[in-house]
Structure 1
């Protein structure tokens, strides 16, 4: 570690979403020194990248004003397929980029500050594993149920990216062959059936209420609406099938459920635990718990990623 790194007091943590950029300056104790957010730029992939780079430049200026020097590193969480070792965002359907050397571009904009790049759900899992619901757990699986579904594999206090950056893609496990067509080109992927977006679409169709959301469906379930209960059961059943695949392949101690659909709390988790138990035969089931950090997980995880990069800038994740 260089003298500059030893003296550094903060890192930049940046969580890139399809609609919002969330950021923080965090110290070595993971306490945010400053928080900010802004809308993700529109106008195509180049505009999105320019917006990210400009925002990071402003954050670095804020850090210099507050702490008297440059950041030790930057941690960047983005959606899609990410090659962490190369620092390349391979693909993002929502943001429209392919094979984008985002870590290098950001490091260049920040005058050589080292940059660590990772998948947004993996970064959220890193935060949950060290600071949230997975703290102290030897092996866990973090699943985020939002517009799509993605997962992250936690082993100790590290996250497993896989050989090509695709570990944890539970959303594209086919659980209903011949089911709805997925954006990936397959039919019956889990995220077409059990994501917050999928539940919202199903409830809108069942209720006749255009624009209804998964939260609306959850409220209707609590109110005793039989149509909502049927929509909910179908989604929970599909999710349990997907998680049983995770149990068979990874044998986690804990499954941590986050994302927008998880805001339903025990309305989701209670039936999910029961469905998993009913489907299991020989498997020893994990504990299923809600995520603890909410939307703060992305920035917290990006900060952890950056501090890890300071300590071990050339060390790749270790496979289990």
Structure 2
């Protein structure tokens, strides 16, 4: 008898500035195996490394893989698989999807890394079909951006800029942003920005919160600046797309519950002055990204 079973295995690849991680997942998003390698620079090296780590993750099951999904920084055209300006990997322009598909011999889908993480968070919190309603993944990494999933479907917007909340120029200190504007939210409350504002420790956010809790004047000032910008970010996101959950991710979110606590305090402060905000109950919508899981790789696989 011929086995006509459809292959349900997918590989998700999470491209980072220093590492590339891959996960073999089943139809439910459960991770069956994973692999990680250091990232190399340049177009050819990036493509070769994606295929290599994908094969490592799949092992003997590579022939059973139906698709590869990739989550990557840079400017991503998810329709064509083209990626531009992966600054940390010296990639200016790369047909990532077609090139990886050519070498791997399977269909490839490419997403922005934050969008992929949003899908991964929705799957991990709600199963293979994700969660009903709108889920926002707010990524505090080198930059600041949100991925938005609505009933399991990623929202890209007309030009793919949906969720680029970090470049809304409303932060009152008017710091210069690499994008060319002044006062972008990510100039104050991205992970990289907190590192610049509080260069005394690595990682900076847990130390900043500890020092502020001891009422050290400089730490209190910096934390107030950062948390007010986070509050603005969450409020803009909530009032724009009204998500069921706002999942906090990225390197800064590894601070864990202390970060949630200072954000909650800021949101409650705002609620105390505004019945409208009180009715939204934003603190109740906050979640930390699931720890110990390759969220980006899972999401890339499930989006493929």
TM-score range with shorter-chain normalisation?
Answer: 0.7 to 0.9
Which residue in the other structure is 2:102 paired with? 108
Paired residue for 2:254, among 245, 260, 263? 263
Tell me the distance in 2 between the aligned counterparts of 1:181 and 1:253: 33
The two structures, once aligned, show a CA RMSD in angstroms of: 2.7
Tell me the distance in 2 between the aligned counterparts of 1:122 and 1:4: 35
Paired residue for 2:222, among 188, 210, 231? 231
Matched, 1:142 2:137: yes
If the length of structure 2 is used for normalisation, what is the TM-score? 0.86
Tell me the distance in 2 between the aligned counterparts of 1:6 and 1:186: 53
Matched, 1:302 2:300: yes
Tell me the distance in 2 between the aligned counterparts of 1:84 and 1:229: 42
Q: How does 1:148-297 map to 2 (within 5 A)?
A: 148-176=143-171, 179-204=174-199, 209=200, 213-279=204-270, 281=274, 282-283=276-277, 284-286=280-282, 287-293=285-291, 296-297=294-295
Deviation at 1:5, TM superposition (A): 9.0
Tell me the distance in 2 between the aligned counterparts of 1:131 and 1:50: 31
Q: Is the 8 A contact 1:203 1:212 kept in 2?
A: no
Deviation at 1:185, TM superposition (A): 1.0
Question: Structure 1: where are the runs of 5+ without partners?
Answer: 307-320
- Bigger mean CA deviation after superposition, 31-40 or 185-194: 31-40
Tell me the distance in 2 between the aligned counterparts of 1:255 and 1:169: 15
Paired residue for 2:78, among 84, 99, 110? 84
Deviation at 1:214, TM superposition (A): 2.7
Tell me the distance in 2 between the aligned counterparts of 1:250 and 1:9: 32
Q: Is the 8 A contact 1:75 1:116 kept in 2?
A: yes
Deviation at 1:178, TM superposition (A): 6.0
Q: Is the 8 A contact 2:36 2:53 kept in 1?
A: no
